[in-house]
Structure 1
Amino acid sequence: MTAFPSSLPSLSPPHAGGARLLADIGGTNARFTLEVGPGRFEAIEVLPCNAYPTLADAVRAYLALPRVQVANPMLHAGIRHAAIAIANPVVGDQVRMTNHHWAFSIEALRQECGFDTLVVVNDFSALARSLPHLGNQKRQVGGGAPVPDAPLGLLGAGTGLGVSGLIPAPAPAAGGQAAGWTALRSEGGHVSFSPVNELEVAILQYAWREFEHVSAERLLSGAGVELIYRALAQRAGRPGERLDAPEISRRALAGECALCDEVLEAFCGMLGTVAGNLAVTLGAQGGVYIGGGIVPRLGERFAASSFRRRFEQKGRFSGYLGQVPTYVITADYPAFLGVSAILSEKLSAP
């Protein structure tokens, strides 16, 4: 797999220090790859987090796979450099996941796995760093056009709700293009949920029965889809069967269940509001990008939803937001692009 098809030759030279291990760790799945050369990803594997007691166990299981060993051109030397994007705040050496039970010391993990270099960053910081490299691996929803060298916004719903942004570094000279980008270490998914209509007030009131603090993530996530379903079923006076998020989405997209379709519509509208909040907060005139595991699977149903209308629904700032484009990320493993760039910068630093 070549990660940067528009900017790299079809066969870039191998990394001098051997293949690099890259990982994207979510609350449900751990995605691994070997980057054998700049932008050349080999042996991509997705392992279920629940199958391994620790992250180190998952790393060892991946590296022991036969196809992984074959993909490493310097197998005898092992893996020297690794970078991990993880769905969690990363502050200092100790990491404890919010949506999974893994907890570890970065330095202890480096030593246990035998790496010379181990970089661990927030997954949405890594995903944000991928945005300038997506090329045509995105789909625009609604109107607007990006302003060059302007901030970019990012959010994505999956096991949780990730939020980040990409801020252009100062230009090297007057009139020049941005010299680089800085990814925000945001935990914006945990801001308090703010309803904008009576239906969302009812959903929030239902959620308060289960949670003292209802964050945006409580509703804009896989578990949130299920919570919205329970709230709307009760509001309709017909509590439904307990369905998981994939089944709710399947029934809605297949046209089998009007209630499930109402759930998806509510979800998309809420996401539009949060995306609009992010755009005005960051001044994200370069665009707002939607990643995560849920929205890219909705296809045209998302484009036809109230997302874009709600994105622009900001009163006096509706005209401002009408000029800001919104995109759904369609790349299969976009976080690898960002974590690769972060590791390369680490290794090239003096």
Structure 2
Amino acid sequence: MTGPILIADLGGTNLRFALTDGQSAWEETSMEGSRFATLDDAVAAYLARIGRERLPERAIFAVAGPSDAEKMVFTNRDWTVPVAPLRERFGLKQLAVVNDFAAVAHALPHLTPDDCRTVGAQRDGRPGPMVAIGPGTGLGVGLVVPDGRGYRVIPGEGGHATLAAQNGLEERVIGYLRNLHGHVSAERALSGAGLADLHDAVCAVEDLPARRLDAAAIVAEGATDPGCREAIGLFTDFLATVSGDLALTAAASGGVFIAGGMVPKLGDLFDGGRFRRRFTAKGRLAGYLDPIPVRLITHRESALLGLSRAAKTILKDDLDTSV
């Protein structure tokens, strides 16, 4: 089969589409998912926007949720999409489904120094596994492991691992979140909605005036309002703890890479030095973590980059299994 491949990064808030030849991407378009009742409608809108005379025969969709080759399940959107009817409607001979952070992880080996900035102390890292973590609408996690011939991407749902406290304030905050949600996963704190809940929790346990703010308002008042400032500090600490746990688990000598929309929106309120101190605060293993670099991905569309570079490899795989 010849011709371009349709690639899509289907997040909890935005749907990003492009075409690729397996090297570069073009016709990149981002659309708000809330505009569409179904994924079919969004795909049709993208194809109409770019005015294609002939539909691509192959596609790869990266989905924010535990999906597989039979159906796409969106964790932070009320969509469950059977794959076969979608493939048939658009005349696709191949449609592969991958985890959204598998797509980000595929980008890591292809990022240049201009695509990232260092968080905290500069570290060069060593060849070895790399971890992607991304707070946004949810919390994504992906792993890249060298395999002797290149690398292998291992997707997962690490954002739903249980969040742990490191001090009394965090214990009280997690207790508040537990009363609200039951199980307190990392995503319950490390997401847009999570930052809003952290602010509510701080106000409750610190006896500050209660007022419900969304993430954008918390960032806007982060430099002046005590509750907002404390919530952002907790967000930073929790993200560092989870990132450090992942680095230990994966032996991520190649580095930890922060993706997602939340950290860039924090701007100067995100304290890289504070993050770095908490990242290495693992007792006897602090020295193990110290050489591991942490980088914030600044590439505009890292998931599409990953899908583009890995497209031919993904589409060679047996499409009866997820990637």
TM-score by length of 1: 0.86
- Residue 256 (structure 1) aligned with residue 224 (structure 2): yes
Instruction: State the secondary structure of the residue aligned to 1:184.
Output: strand
Instruction: Tell me which residue corresponds to 1:147.
Output: 126
> Could you tell me how far 1:92 is from its partner in structure 2?
4.0
Which residue of 221, 230, 235 maps to 2:205? Answer: 235
Instruction: State the secondary structure of the residue aligned to 1:194.
Output: coil
> Could you tell me how far 1:143 is from its partner in structure 2?
3.2
Deviations 1:188-227 (A, max 9, x none): 1111110001111110111111121111111111111011
% identical aligned pairs:
39
Letter of the 1:166 partner, please give it: V
Contact 2:72 2:97 in 1 (8 A): no
Which residue of 135, 140, 161 maps to 1:162? Answer: 140
- Residue 105 (structure 1) aligned with residue 86 (structure 2): no
Structure 2 CA distance for partners of 1:346 and 1:92, relative to 1, 3 Å: closer
> Could you tell me how far 1:347 is from its partner in structure 2?
4.3
Instruction: State the secondary structure of the residue aligned to 2:144.
Output: strand
Distance 2:272 2:131 in 1: 22
Q: Report which structure shows greater RCO (CA 8 Å, sep ≥6).
A: 2
Instruction: State the secondary structure of the residue aligned to 2:53.
Output: helix
Contact 1:265 1:305 in 2 (8 A): no
Distance 2:214 2:271 in 1: 23
Instruction: Tell me which residue corresponds to 2:60.
Output: 83
- Residue 335 (structure 1) aligned with residue 294 (structure 2): no
> Could you tell me how far 1:348 is from its partner in structure 2?
5.3
Distance 1:95 1:40 in 2: 26
Deviations 1:121-178 (A, max 9, x none): 0000111010011112011112322112x00011110111111110111x2xxxxxxx
Larger radius of gyration: 1
Distance 1:96 1:192 in 2: 21
Instruction: State the secondary structure of the residue aligned to 1:284.
Output: coil
Which residue of 14, 17, 20 maps to 2:5? Answer: 20
Contact 2:96 2:315 in 1 (8 A): no
Deviations 1:249-273 (A, max 9, x none): 1221xx2323211111110011000
Aligned residue runs from structure 1 range 22-37, under 5 A: 22-35=7-20, 37=21
Instruction: Tell me which residue corresponds to 1:299.
Output: 267
Deviations 1:324-348 (A, max 9, x none): 1100000010001111233211445
Letter of the 1:151 partner, please give it: P
Q: Which moved more, 1:300-309 or 1:227-236?
A: 300-309
Letter of the 1:146 partner, please give it: G
Instruction: Tell me which residue corresponds to 1:325.
Output: 293
Distance 2:239 2:315 in 1: 37
TM-score by length of 2: 0.93
RMSD: 1.7
Distance 1:261 1:103 in 2: 37
Instruction: Tell me which residue corresponds to 1:314.
Output: 282
Which residue of 167, 176, 183 maps to 1:206? Answer: 176
Instruction: State the secondary structure of the residue aligned to 2:75.
Output: coil
- Residue 121 (structure 1) aligned with residue 105 (structure 2): no
> Could you tell me how far 1:349 is from its partner in structure 2?
6.4
Contact 1:268 1:305 in 2 (8 A): no
Structure 2 CA distance for partners of 1:132 and 1:292, relative to 1, 3 Å: same
Deviations 1:275-329 (A, max 9, x none): 0000000000110110011012333432445211110000000011011110000
Distance 1:315 1:132 in 2: 30
Instruction: State the secondary structure of the residue aligned to 2:199.
Output: helix
Instruction: Tell me which residue corresponds to 1:266.
Output: 234
Letter of the 1:235 partner, please give it: V
Distance 1:97 1:348 in 2: 25
Instruction: State the secondary structure of the residue aligned to 1:166.
Output: strand
Letter of the 1:218 partner, please give it: R
> Could you tell me how far 1:108 is from its partner in structure 2?
1.8
Structure 2 CA distance for partners of 1:308 and 1:241, relative to 1, 3 Å: same
Letter of the 1:104 partner, please give it: V
> Could you tell me how far 1:245 is from its partner in structure 2?
0.7
Which residue of 155, 158, 166 maps to 1:185? Answer: 155
Alignment gaps of 5+ in structure 2: 319-323
> Could you tell me how far 1:180 is from its partner in structure 2?
1.4
> Could you tell me how far 1:29 is from its partner in structure 2?
1.1
Distance 2:239 2:7 in 1: 29
Letter of the 1:60 partner, please give it: A
Distance 2:195 2:258 in 1: 17
Alignment gaps of 5+ in structure 1: 1-15, 70-74, 172-178
Letter of the 2:3 partner, please give it: G
